[in-house]
Structure formats: structure tokens, C-alpha cells
Amino acid sequence: MSATSWQAHLSGQMNPEWADEIDQFEAQLELRRVGNLDEKAFAETRLRRGVYGQRYDNGRRNDGYGTRELPLDFDHPTKGTDTVWDAPGMQRIKLPFGGLSPEQLEVIADLAEEYSDEILHVTTRQDIQLHFVHIDDTPDLMRRLAAVDVTTREACGNSIRNVTACPLAGVCHTEAFDVSPYAKALMLFLLGHPDVQDFGRKFKPAFSGCETEACGLVQMHDAGYVARIKDGKRGFKVVVGGGLGTVPHQAEVLSEFTPVDEYLIEIQAIARIFARMGEKKNRNRARLKFLVANLGIEEFRRLVEEEKRTIPPDPRHTQLIEDLPTTGGPPVRDPSLLNGQPRPDGFERWQATNVRTQRQEGYRVVTVNLPLGDLTSQQARGLADIAREYAGDNLRTTVEQNIVLRFVPEADLPEVFTALEQIGLSVGGAGTIADVTTCPGTDTCKLGIASSRGLAAVVRDRLEERAPSQDPSVSDMSVKISGCFNSCGQHHIADVGFYGNARGFDGRRVPHFQVVLGGQRTHNAGKYGMAVGAVPSKAAPEVLDALTDAYLEGRDEGESFQDWSERLGKRGLRELIEPFMDLPTFEEDPSYYVDHSDARLFTMGDLGVGECAGEVVSLFGIEVMKAESEVFEAQVALDEDDDPAAAERHAYEAMLAAARALVRTEYIDVTEEPDDIVSEWKTRFFDTELFFDRFARGKFGRYLLDLHEDPTPTGDAAVAARRVEEAQLFVEAAHSCEAKMAAEKARVAESKDQRAKAST
């Protein structure tokens, strides 16, 4: 029995543009595997497709005694700086606004089973991640997703990341209007857009239907949109430059009202400014928040207005709005109210925390509480069945790492509860203190310092046990945990946040968590918490109890945890956690020197270089990769497929792509028309002799000029072989041309510098 390839099996089922993209990626993968593509350039293209590194991908791991080489094949080229080809990786799957159909969920379940560890992990940005994925499997994985209209493109790297939105959008009581179609339109507009390819750092957009609720968290995003209606017209309050990270920033208001037919051109302007003026070298200061802070919001606003006027007209600016994308199917059942149906054991408790009313009468929103955001492939299939039966095409992932079902008739809730119970997903407590949010931490992240998931699992267990007798104001609190200061677990916006760090004691390293108190989720994450001190990882669960106990004892009437913590202040809060800061020596209690969910002695030796930001490769570097892939395809067509005509077409495309890559360094809006590319390239690079080789002069350039006169393939194998050869030389010449220009730029900058020094 032989297997059909997924490429053949799914042909015709994928968006052709996406299918081509994946073929290109597969070709680049092959190029890199045989060592014919630069490691940084490959890492960039890989990250842009959501193919991330994972802890230990440098091929080394500390086993508790010392750092050892993992038993992998080290002979392949690397897949990024210090990244072993065969080392496990993470695949991020981008789900705009968290929207997910049962069919898509089923496909992801299959992928988790065939390429990962049968676990689907919902992230704090509404994505789904699979871990321990081998890079060789990623093209097929992407094809199977593309066949159900899901992309991994720009899920990582320095690009527009997943567009998040309130999971209640469309069913919420307080929203101005449903933001989901606009979130999707923004995603479609920007996906692969030329203006978002040259960022110095990632860019995260978010949408919210209303200002006061927590769901959209727009204040902590690079670009945040809050739905508003003005004079009967839809639009957004737009905020920019927010973000968590090491230095949290609240976003600032760019516009009190941007009508919906202008928000796409506006984001394009923002993207262009960020690409042009944003920091490129120092990735620690490269997010938009630093640019906005440096320029000031008034200047930034002025620049956006100015930029908007220079953007060439694009029919998509309005088309996408006139013909809004769909974001969910109709309800599958008629609305009906719960009325005397038998209620299974545990139903009431679950209903109290996991069911919310929605705007549409008779329907309810059900939150499926996923512990630490995880579910198994089999649970995912069961959930797809439940969705089909009761909710239709209306699943959404949430930033709290859960999944919600919308449009569930109230009368069917007992049945839904029973069905969820049968697949182990009827855990109550959604949105309560027990519903802990966490990033992957040391489990799989290269930057993780302490085990955020290990701590979260312990805290969750303890709180769940206590839930029935918990004081309601404690139940309503939130706990969020990050493995390091980068705050992917969003610890800044929790009542009690923790982030991992380490302290030295007794000659050893001890895992710790910094305690961050009093952050705010409501008002779209309107206030960040304050760090009050670090406690040993193993003491952190006790610290949480001490804090909630002190709050219950000392609060004024009606006082929230946030207000209470603000009243106590940093000093008062620190006094509460101080008793837990003491460490036993290793001899007294070695367990403090081992992290949660681990058995090894704690070490920071496994920390790697993060790939969060992606490699910063020049715009030329990214563009010229297309040319490299085309040359590769040409070679394959010639050598393996015996198809000289195809080889000739690819050779021509390769030269065009390389020429365009050069042109775009000077003229970003050049079209993809061969005539335009060749004429722009000719004026700028050939006629100026910039493209010329020292010895061969214009020889390589003329390959393109000659072929462009009549690019029709001859079908002759000898001609094809020559063209492929020429294309290869042309691409090489483009590389040297760019290198020459870069060197020239550096020289000019240096002599300016010297002149400046000489004159002082």
C-alpha cells in the first residue's frame, strides 16, 4: 500500500496563492537542507510561516547533571542560528479573531496526532500551537490547513501577527457592532502585503466591540480598535503603541473616530511608517511603542495623515468593507429557553461560571474551560461534534486560552454539559481565579526561566478544590503566569501575576517568580500591575493563598482586590510576601532547587536565543529568496521533470524576482508587471552600471533584457539549460549589486561621521 502525497491529494482544494507559497517554502527548505540558502534568510522565511524554534533546538540540554548534546543528527545545515535541523520545533497556527469551524478543528486534531504529541494548545493570542513538530513535516501540515482555509503565514516573525478580537463579538450585549468581519478584513488586507514585510519587530493588532469590557485588551496592542458609531456610521477609536513585554506601555489614541472605509488605508500608513522609521538594529527597542514614544503621538498622527495621502489607490481599501468577509455560520438550532429539563449532577456549578447570555434571545455562549489551554486530538473531535450539533460554525478561541461555543440554545445546555462531560471538557470555573492563564515557559520556550505551566497546574489544582467554598470576590480574581519577563502570559493585567526569574543561593540557582499585583483586565487592559518582590517557585502557591486571605481579612466593604492592593501599596504588599522569600539550604530542602513539573536540579543553562522577533533580514534578502526558489524550481523542472518549457518560465521568473528585489530597495510600490520591473530595473541599475560586474560588465544584466524581449519558452532542452544557468548568474549578480550598494552606504555614513568629528 503506497501513500499519496498531501500535495497531490489536496490539489485544487487550496487557495492557489497559498498553495504556491507552501510549494515555495518547501523548495526553500530543500535549498537550506542541501546548504544552498543562507541560514538567516531561511530562518526569516521559516518564522514568517509560523515555524518556530523550541527549547533545546540548539541540540543541547541540561539533564540535571550537566549540559549534553542531544542524540540528533548534527550533520545537516542548521535551520537558523545555532538551530539543529532535526531538533523539535513549534508550529503556530494563526486564527484571526479566534474564529474556528468544526471542520478546521478536526484538521488541526489530525495534525496534532500525526505531526505533534496529540495536544492542541490554545495561546494567549487566540492561536493554536503544536509542539515537537519536525520541520520536514511542516509543508504538508500547512497544505492540510490551507485546504480548510487556515494559514500559518505571518504567525511569527517581524510581521503582522494574529489579529485578535473579543470572542463575544457579534453576540455581546454592550458592543457597538460586530468587529469580527473587520478583524478578518484587516487580516486579509495585510496578509503578505508588501508594506508589512520590512518591520524591525512584530506588530500585534486587536479589536474590541466596546470600551469597558476586558475582552479585546486593545490597550496592550500595537494597534487597537474599539468599535464606535458616529452619526450612524461605523468606525473605530484607534489606539497605537501599546504592549506588554519587559516595559509595558499603554496605547495612545491615534484617532477618536476612523470610519470603517478608512481604517485599512490608515493601517497601511502606520505599517509604512513603522517599516521606514522603526528601530531595526536593536530589537529590544524595535516595537511600535518605542517609535510612538520617541516621536510623540501628535507627530506620529501627523506622519500617518501625511503618509495616507501618498499611498497609491487600492480597490481593496473599500472592497473588503463593502463585501465584508463572513465570520461564522448561522445558528443550527432554534433559540429556546431552559424549562424543567433534567439537570445532570454538577450542571448548576458549571452553568454559573461557564455559560453567558448573549444578545440573541434564547441563545447562550458556552465556555469550554481548557486546563492551561490544552486539549487532546480526540477531545477536539468531540468538541467539533458538539459544535456541529448545537452551535454550528461558531467556535472561537479566547485569550484566556479557552474555546467558546456561541449560539447554543439555552434549553440544550444540559445536553451540551453531558456531551462535554463525556469528553472530559466539562470543567467549571471558566473566568474564575482557577482559570489560570500561562505561557509555555520552560516546557518548550527557549526564553523560559521558570516553569510557568508547572506552577499554573499546581495553582489550578489547589483553587479548583477550593472553588465550592471560595468567597465570590476571590473567585472573580485572575491569575496569569509568564515564564520570564516577556509577559506572554500577560502577568501585567492580572490581579495576581507571576513571572519567572532566578536567584542565587547556597551556591546554586533557585527558580523564583516575581509577584505582580493589581493589574486590570477591564477597560481593555487599562492598568498594569506593580511588581512587589520575588518568591521561590515552590512557595508561589502559598503566596497566592496568603494574598487572598489577607485581602479577605483586610478589605473594606465592596473593595476589589485591585483597589485593596493599591491601598496597601508596594510596601504593604511586600510585607505580606516577605515571609515566603526565605530559602532553605540545599541540605535542608533540596526540593526548592527543583522547579515544578521537573525532577532535574534547576539550571539556567538551557536558555536559548529567542526567535520571537525573528531574524531581521533586509527587504532585499526576503525578496531575493523568491528568485532563489524560482531558480531551484527551474533546476527541478529541467533535471527531474524533463520539462524544459517550465524550466524556461521559472528561469525568467527568477530574473524578474531578483530585479524586482533590487528595484524595491528604492521604489517600494513597483508593480509585478514584467514590463514595469524591467524598465525600472534598467533605469535604476543597468543604465547606471550599478548592476555591472567588474570584469563581465553588463553581461549578466543583458540576460534579462534579451529574454524579456521574448520570454516565450522554446521547449528546447539546450536553450532551457542555458537559461537556467543565466538565471543563476543573474541572481548572483543581483546579490553582488546589493552588497556593493550596502558597502557604499556604510562608507558614506562613515565618512560623514569622520567629517563631523573633524569639524568639531
Instruction: Estimate to the nearest angstrom the gap between the alpha carbon of 291 and the chain centroid.
Output: 21
Interaction between residue 578 and other proteins (CB under 8 A): no
Q: What residues between 249 and 268 interact with other proteins by CB under 8 A?
A: none
Interaction between residue 378 and other proteins (CB under 8 A): yes
CB of 333 to other proteins, least distance (A): 22
Residue 179 vs 372, nearer CB to other proteins: 372
Q: What does DSSP say about strands 67-69 and 60-62: parallel, antiparallel, or unpaired?
A: antiparallel
Q: Contact, 265 vs 317, CB < 8 A? A: yes
Strand-pairing partners, residue 514, are: 499, 534
In terms of Cα–Cα distance, which of 7, 14, 49 is closest to 28?
49
Q: Segment near other proteins (CB under 8 A), from 191-199, 251-259, 370-378, 568-576? A: 370-378
Residue 6 vs 667, nearer CB to other proteins: 6
Q: If DSSP codes are grouped into helix, strand and coil, which group holds residue 557?
A: coil
Which DSSP helix (H) or strand (E) runs through 92? Answer: strand 89-93
Among 53, 88, 483, 608, binds other proteins (CB under 8 A): 88
Q: If DSSP codes are grouped into helix, strand and coil, which group holds residue 83?
A: coil
Among 186, 375, 634, 637, binds other proteins (CB under 8 A): 375
Interaction between residue 555 and other proteins (CB under 8 A): no
Among 12, 65, 231, 310, binds other proteins (CB under 8 A): 65
DSSP string of 657-673, one letter each residue:
HHHHHHHHTT-TT--S-
Q: Segment near other proteins (CB under 8 A), from 106-114, 148-156, 653-661, 748-756? A: 106-114
Q: If DSSP codes are grouped into helix, strand and coil, which group holds residue 243?
A: strand
Interaction between residue 356 and other proteins (CB under 8 A): no
Taking the C-alpha atoms of residue 413 and residue 420, their distance in angstroms, rounded to an integer, is: 10
Strand-pairing partners, residue 68, are: 61
CB of 132 to other proteins, least distance (A): 6
Amino acid present at 363: Y
Residue 159 vs 444, nearer CB to other proteins: 444
CB of 145 to other proteins, least distance (A): 14
Among 46, 48, 49, 55, binds other proteins (CB under 8 A): 55
Interaction between residue 756 and other proteins (CB under 8 A): no
Interface characters, 424-453, with other proteins (x: CB under 8 A): xx-x---------------xx--------x
Interface characters, 111-150, with other proteins (x: CB under 8 A): --xx--xxx-----------xx-x----------------
CB of 400 to other proteins, least distance (A): 15
Residue 114 vs 305, nearer CB to other proteins: 114
Residue 560 vs 597, nearer CB to other proteins: 597
Instruction: Estimate to the nearest angstrom the gap between the alpha carbon of 679 and the chain centroid.
Output: 38
- The shares of helix, strand and coil residues in the chain, as percent rounded to the nearest 5, are 45, 15, 40
CB of 53 to other proteins, least distance (A): 14
Interaction between residue 573 and other proteins (CB under 8 A): no
Alpha helices in 261-412 (DSSP H): 263-277, 288-295, 297-310, 316-322, 347-354, 377-386
Q: If DSSP codes are grouped into helix, strand and coil, which group holds residue 586?
A: coil
Q: Degrees (nearest 5) of the Cα angle 163, 624, 611?
A: 45
Interaction between residue 79 and other proteins (CB under 8 A): no
Interaction between residue 56 and other proteins (CB under 8 A): yes
Q: Contact, 493 vs 248, CB < 8 A? A: no
Interaction between residue 6 and other proteins (CB under 8 A): yes
Q: How many residues bind other proteins (CB under 8 A)?
A: 57
Taking the C-alpha atoms of residue 155 and residue 176, their distance in angstroms, rounded to an integer, is: 29
Strand-pairing partners, residue 610, are: none
Instruction: Estimate to the nearest angstrom the gap between the alpha carbon of 151 and the chain centroid.
Output: 12
Among 293, 338, 457, 546, binds other proteins (CB under 8 A): 457
What residues have CB less than 8 Å from 155, skipping those under 6 apart? 49, 50, 92, 93, 94, 127, 161, 162
**Cell numbers representing residue 169 in the block:** 463579538
Q: What residues between 597 and 626 interact with other proteins by CB under 8 A?
A: 597-601
In terms of Cα–Cα distance, which of 120, 86, 91, 123 is closest to 105?
120
Residue 582 to residues 152, 502, 510, 537: CA-CA distances in angstroms? Answer: 46, 14, 12, 12
In terms of Cα–Cα distance, which of 505, 491, 368 is closest to 441?
491
Q: Segment near other proteins (CB under 8 A), from 247-255, 279-287, 592-600, 608-616? A: 592-600
Residue 38 vs 400, nearer CB to other proteins: 400
CB of 18 to other proteins, least distance (A): 20
Residue 1 vs 756, nearer CB to other proteins: 1
Task: Please state, as a whole number, how many other Cβ atoms lie within 10 Å of the Cβ of residue 679.
Answer: 14
Residue 427 to residues 166, 278, 351, 353, 415: CA-CA distances in angstroms? Answer: 22, 45, 10, 10, 15
Residue 88 vs 243, nearer CB to other proteins: 88
Among 460, 491, 650, 735, binds other proteins (CB under 8 A): 460
Q: Segment near other proteins (CB under 8 A), from 20-28, 203-211, 378-386, 524-532? A: 378-386
Residue 305 vs 461, nearer CB to other proteins: 461
Taking the C-alpha atoms of residue 430 and residue 523, their distance in angstroms, rounded to an integer, is: 20
CB of 56 to other proteins, least distance (A): 6
Interaction between residue 301 and other proteins (CB under 8 A): no
Q: Segment near other proteins (CB under 8 A), from 84-92, 235-243, 554-562, 713-721? A: 84-92
Among 23, 33, 72, 259, binds other proteins (CB under 8 A): 72
Interaction between residue 566 and other proteins (CB under 8 A): no
Interaction between residue 66 and other proteins (CB under 8 A): yes
Interaction between residue 506 and other proteins (CB under 8 A): no
Amino acid present at 214: A
Residue 73 vs 666, nearer CB to other proteins: 73
Residue 192 Ramachandran class (φ > 0 left, ψ -120 to 50 alpha, else beta):
left
Q: What does DSSP say about strands 403-409 and 363-368: parallel, antiparallel, or unpaired?
A: antiparallel
Residues that bind other proteins (CB under 8 A): 1, 3-6, 9, 55-56, 61, 63-66, 70-72, 86-88, 106, 109-110, 113-114, 117-119, 131-132, 134, 371-372, 374-376, 378-379, 381, 423-425, 427, 443-444, 453-454, 457, 460-461, 586-587, 590, 597-601
